[in-house]
Amino acid sequence: MAGKLDLDPRIVARARALAAKAGQPVVDLARSHTTVSVERAVLRLAGVHGADPDGIPWVNRLVDAVRADVGLGHGVAVPVLHAALTTGVEDLTVLAQKAAAGSVRFDVPEKKADVAAARRHAKRAAAGGLKLVDRRRAERDKLIRRYGDPAQRPWIYLIVATGDIYEDIPQAQAAARAGADIIAVIRSTGQSLLDYVPEGATREGFAGTYATQENFRLMRAALDVTSRELGRYIRLTNYASGLCMPEIAALAGMERLDMMLNDSMYGILFRDINPIRTFVDQRFSRQVHARAGIIINTGEDNYLTTADAVEAAHTVTVSQLLNEFFAHEAGLADWQLGLGHAFEINPDLPDSFRLELAHALLARELFPEAPLKWMPPTKHMTGDVFRGNLLDGFFNLAGALTGQGILLVGMMTEAVVTPWLSDRDIALQNVKYVLNGAGNLHEDFVPGPFIRGRANQVLGEAIELLERIVGDTLMDAIADGTFGLMKRPADRGKGLDGVAKQEADYYNPVTEVLA
């Protein structure tokens, strides 16, 4: 899918160059700071697990203890492993328990030999977690070779989340049998604002199910059974966003999730999480995703739920270009970039479908190797299920015409009520009918001057915005409400107190390997 819009390659190259120039100061900032969640992720990879009787993970207790004694700026790896060596407590979870009880104190060793020993043991401990991530990636590759990928693109992506993991499992398996290629277990409302990852299997959640390591393990095991039954590999998605983005990324890698929601600005704009905290956390999490072979899904579709989908179309393109730059810098390959965009233009607007095709085709041609994630209409769903099903049919057709990579199944009851299983079944029938009937229609689709003109207009507006961002900085653009009309200053937002500037002796055994 290339060359249909007559995009000038020099203009496309300029857009990417501007995105890199706008994004580099954010990368520099992320490289020079750390967060409580980055440090907790390091310790999770090093083997710390479990939670205290109040449900607070031991890894939180351990990082809090280190932070109270020596701060975060040195990293936690050296203080923790130095304490383990000097106390003889090799099990880091036991060390965390002792620290929580006040029987262990932490310091940064002064002697070079002690620092070297602590670093050596920290590197060895973290390597154990990374080896597990590598093993899980190899398992995925083996299963895909055995069962195969879906025969057609786009892959069909379906959301399942009841709040109860034991209810989610049979619904997810039923969805796969009905034709879904990817199962997304959305998180319980509000989990992104928890500064800890809940422990164990959970049976209560609001509008979603908690993202926990055990829930990941249970769902992955169930879908492996279904993959064997169906003879095709069923992918599993969850959310690496919010205040615990790095930790959830690590847990996802260790439990072989295949895709993760991971957007550089979603938490800033729609959860009021501090921008610095978010950018530091997202860089580390994407480094882990790159190592784990996980496809990320970005959240540009959300901008169009708050801003007008025609007037703000160029902000989606700008965000996609920034997400691409940040992802590449963190080590992700093009095949891992599920860049987001959405079918959210008011259907009452004349030529609305042609405009949607222009925007979708622009994304497809700008990122030809990326498995773009095409999102269904939500903003203009009215509760009229017949109209909603028709609108979803147009969305599915747009996905087929423009060669999208991942198509999220739209529900005719979207944004009105939580869909029933029967709603999902009808929605899947809609998708399968359109994709089967359209076949490779994208090969025959040749856009006219209206679509080509609109796509080039959006790209031009994106370049103008990028030029302004380069002049004013990305942080200022976010503060001014450029994306999704949300104003988020860099000195405000949740989680800012969990950010620390790296000291000269900062050490992170995970980023040392993943850099």
What are the catalytic residues? 266, 301, 373
Burial (CB count <10 Å: 0-12, 13-18, 19+), residue 100: middle
Residues with Cβ within 8 Å of 166's Cβ and at least 6 positions away in sequence, in order, are: 201, 203, 218
What distance in Å separates the CA atoms of residue 268 and residue 274, rounded to the nearest whole number?
Answer: 6
And the tokens for 145?
Answer: 């070779």
**Core vs surface per residue 45-75: b (16+ CB within 10 A) or e:** bbbbeebeeeeebbbbbbbbbbbeebebbbb
What distance in Å separates the CA atoms of residue 8 and residue 12, rounded to the nearest whole number?
Answer: 6
* E strands, 88-181, in order: 155-159
3-state secondary structure 127-146: HHHHHHHHHHHHHHHHHHHH
3-state secondary structure of 94: helix
What distance in Å separates the CA atoms of residue 209 and residue 266, rounded to the nearest whole number?
Answer: 19
What distance in Å separates the CA atoms of residue 355 and residue 351, rounded to the nearest whole number?
Answer: 6
- End-to-end Cα spacing for the chain: 33
Is 141:190 a contact under the CB 8 Å cutoff? no
Task: Tell which residue, 223, 247, 318, 331, has the closest CA to residue 287.
Answer: 331
Task: Tell which residue, 64, 67, 152, 154, has the closest CA to residue 101.
Answer: 64
What distance in Å separates the CA atoms of residue 315 and residue 193, rounded to the nearest whole number?
Answer: 25
- Half-sphere exposure of residue 208: CA atoms within 13 angstroms, side-chain side: 15
